[in-house]
Structure 1
Amino acid sequence: MAAVASAHSPTSLLSQPYWYRCLPADTDVHRLDRGLFAVTGNAAVQEALAHPLIVADHPLKASARAFGPNVLDADGPGHRAFRALLAPVLSAGRIAEYKRALIPGLVRGLVDSIAGVETDRFHDAYAHRVPYGIVCTILGIDASLENRFHRLTRPLARLLDYPTQETDETHANVTELLRLIEEQRRSEAAGAQSLLERIEWTRDRKGISLTDSEVRSTALLFFLAGTETSSAFITSLVYCMGRGVFDLGELRDEAVRDAWIEEVLRLYPPVQTIVRFAGDDLTVQGVTVPRHSAVLVSVAGANRDPRLFEHPDRFDIGRSTKGSIPFAVGAHSCPGAMLAKTEFSLLVEELVHRCSEVVVTRDRLAMESQSFSHPTDFSVEFRTR
């Protein structure tokens, strides 16, 4: 039998950033309520994410109602078809091109704006600038619309939380974003280099049976996931840099920088909880999960499993991060992981070059959100050389 977390209602439990710590330690699969299960330990999380009967698709899922058929809510051949559309813009060669010609200018622009500044609004005012700049360029969207896209996109993150926050605003924002994407696609500025042009070409060339509407939904979900996860994690990067007691110069070494980023990813995966559904009766770690149950998979719990990571809450750049799954595993693992890591590395490199110190000057030790999680309610100062 699965343990029942009777001391907490599901809503109150899941409102806590580290909710997995409140559950019994003698099992990794927990029945929170009728038809609602949570999976927490590393082995159990990896099993659940790779389980063929634990699926993303559900007819009442808020994101599917808002976006229509899309890459996040499809399974099997449909999901593979959606991912195939993204391959041309996420290939190693294309990312190398972004690294050379696109990302450095965006990173320099961000660091120019924060050098010498102390702010308590890093996430809201600054963290989105690099990822939004990247995705706007890939989508062929004029840079002057970046802030408008940011305002429209932010509320959509709540569609992916559990419990979902679905409002008239979220549906209106999806409609407006799709309209703007199509408007930009038709403009001369977008031309043949836009994401939509590329994925439509891929669809036609490979004979993938997806409609124009489904292509646009994929583009929008790519935009949402690519920007909000990166914005959240860039906030975590800056927070860890500001809390660390070390010489920033150590991060000039690429190998050290990569190891440091991997440890931040372990501690602060931008997607802490993934919502899945039992497509049939099944078992995880020997626990029966009935058909149609919602399954909340805790990536954060997996990455802080003390059976795999000694002193899991401690930042330790020397530890092995083997088993850390910040981008999930299985069919729905993040297709943009390589692009994201490139972005993060170039940003840290530029911060180290321009700043003598990055210091968290005020810290309430708070966390925000489940879907796109990051430290919040802190101030950080970027002291220049």
Structure 2
Amino acid sequence: MPAVTTRTAPLTEPNWYRHLPAGRDVHLLHEGVVAVTGNDAVHQILAHPAVVAEHPLKASSRALGPNVLDADGPQHRAFRALLAPVLSAGRIDDYARTLMPRLIDDLTEELAGVRTNEFDARYAHRIPYGLVCAVLGIDTALEERFHTLTRPLAQLLDYPTVETPQTHRCAAELLDLIEEQRIARDGSGTSLLETIERTRDRKAITLSDSEVRSTAVLFFIAGTETSSAYITSLVYCIGRTVFGLEELLDSEVRAHFLEEVLRLYPPVQTVVRFAAEDITLDGVTVPRHSAILASIAAANRDPRVFAYPDRLVIGRDTKRSAPFAVGAHACPGAVLAKTEFGLLTARLAERFREIAVVGDERRIESQSFSHPVDFTVHFRVK
């Protein structure tokens, strides 16, 4: 089937996929750029062996050097092997018993009685930044400094990419700061930096010290900004949904609710990949070297898979939802993130009588680290 060129999709807008012609899953936007939207097609393209993440001109590669986000094949597997011990079931259980409850309690106490239109800017990052700083072995006094440096870096991973002298300065300073913390670590052997260095040496993984630091930086960005985005979406959905908060004390209801919010508001709406060779998908030839925009948001709202896709329906089958992507580059921290979100939701339900969105412009920000913006939320205590 010949490709149909579409030039109307405003790619700077979240939910840009809604502007594409209905009835097609693969869209040639212009020469060298292809959008993939249908649920089956997105699953296929992200798991396709000839679809890669690496590209020599990617801004994240230039700013951070070789890293887990932009590598493929054996190098990508080596990067992921460094993170595996830190994200093991045992480590996550330990975080859930010791670290997460304290961070969650601190946030919920701070939110008691608050009415704010800046939840995403002032509060959503508190838990993920506290968690990732602790996991990395970073001095908690530096948490806000890391937040200041990381926010501009998120623009390097977004689409369209925003690359400025500031993003490169922030990347360099963040790498230096992580190296300073590595040198100053307490030697307990439990931090991410110590763990990944030990894993590298024990498994004879051929990655340099700078590549280890880049892995730590990407862990920091992914582990904080995606979680901050989702926590914003979570609070927004609680505030706009008509049910009693006490329903979320039921673990099964809570699990279904979290999955449905992830389907509606995946933290990363668009995943950018590249065709290593000519690929045929849905009868359309995707030429070699094409940039492929895989729309997680479109896949998660495909009406052929999810009835009434724009509704929040607790209990629906979400097996085909892909909020953490699929394939070799699927998010390695998904279980850690879901554990964090589950504990937070349970504590919100325990602590508050009502969480109400009382003003809402119904806008979404960003493609990566995507979440609702311009809403006011009131946390009413019991």
- Pair 1:320 & 2:335 matched: no
Residue equivalent to 1:358: 355
| Cross-structure match for 2:194 | 197
1:213 aligns to what? 210
Contact 1:275–1:296 (Cα < 8 Å) also in 2: yes
Aligned-partner SS, 2:359: strand
- The CA deviation string for residues 137-158 of structure 1, in whole angstroms up to 9 with x for no partner, is 0111111110110010001111
Aligned length: 381
Q: Secondary structure of 2:353's match?
A: strand
Match of 2:148 among 148, 151, 167: 151
RMSD: 0.9
CA displacement, residues 275-298 of structure 1 (integer Å, 9 cap, x when unaligned): 001111111222111111100000
Native 8 Å contact 1:142 1:184 kept in 2: yes
Q: Give the one of 20, 39, 42 matched to 1:45.
A: 42
CA drift of 1:14 comes to 1.1
Q: Separation in 1 of the partners of 2:308 and 2:94?
A: 39
120, 136, 139: which one pairs with 2:136? 139
**Is this contact kept in 2: 1:140–1:190, CA < 8 A?**
no
Match of 1:259, SS? helix
1:3 paired residue number:
4
- Alpha-carbon distance in 2 for matches of 1:281, 1:28: 17
Q: Is the CA contact 1:37–1:296 (under 8 Å) kept in the aligned structure 2? A: yes
Query: Who is 1:117 aligned against?
Result: 114
User: Partner of 2:80 in structure 1?
Assistant: 83
Contact 2:137-2:185 at 8 Å conserved across structures: no
Residue number in structure 2 paired with 1:66: 63
Structure 1: any 5+ residue segments left out of the alignment? none
Deviation larger for 83-92 or 178-187: 178-187
Q: Equivalents in 2 of 1:306, 1:148: separation in Å?
A: 43
Tell me the SS of whatever aligns to 1:330: coil
| AA at the equivalent of 1:2 | A
Could you give the per-residue CA deviations for residues 304-324 of structure 1, whole angstroms, max 9, x where no partner exists?
000000000011002111201
Structure-1 residue corresponding to 2:336 = 339
Query: What does the per-residue CA deviation read over 1:168-209, in whole Å, with 9 as the maximum and x for residues that have no partner?
Result: 111110111111111111114465222111101000000111
Say if 1:140 and 1:195, in contact at 8 Å, map to a contact too. yes
Aligned mates of 1:295, 1:383 — CA distance in 2: 44
Question: How far apart are residue 167 of structure 1 and its match?
Answer: 0.5
Deviation at 1:7, TM superposition (A): 2.9
1:30: which partner in 2? 27
**Residue 274 of structure 1: SS of its match in structure 2?**
strand
Gap regions ≥5 residues in structure 2: none
Q: 2:239 — aligned with what?
A: 242
Answer whether contact 1:142 1:189 (CA < 8 A) is retained. Answer: no
- 1:273 and 2:274 equivalent? no
After TM superposition, the score normalised by the length of structure 2 is: 0.98
TM, length-normalised to structure 1:
0.98
Question: 2:8·2:20 contact (CA, 8 Å) conserved in 1?
Answer: no
Tell me if the contact between 1:128 and 1:231 (Cα under 8 Å) persists in the aligned partners: yes
Letter in 2 for 1:101: T
Identity %: 65
Q: Which amino acid aligns with 2:339?
A: T
Q: Is the 8 A contact 1:141 1:190 kept in 2?
A: no
**What CA distance in whole angstroms lies between the structure 1 residues aligned with 2:148 and 2:188?**
25
Q: Do the aligned partners of 1:280 and 1:290 also contact (CA within 8 Å) in 2?
A: yes
| 1:61 maps to amino acid | K
Which of 351, 371, 381 pairs up with 1:374? 371
Q: Distance in 2 between matches of 1:154 and 1:281?
A: 36
Residues 49-87 of structure 1 deviation map (CA, whole Å, 9 limit, x = unaligned): 001111000000111111100000000111000000000
Partner deviation per Cα, 1:206-254 (whole Å, 9 max, x = no partner): 0111011101100100100010000000000000000010010000011
Give the corresponding residue for 2:298: 301
CA distance in 1, matches of 2:66, 2:187: 24
Q: Among residues 221, 231, 244, which one is paired with 2:228 in the alignment?
A: 231
* Distance in 2 of aligned mates of 1:197 and 1:273: 33
Contact kept, 8 Å, 1:203 with 1:210, in 2: the verdict is yes
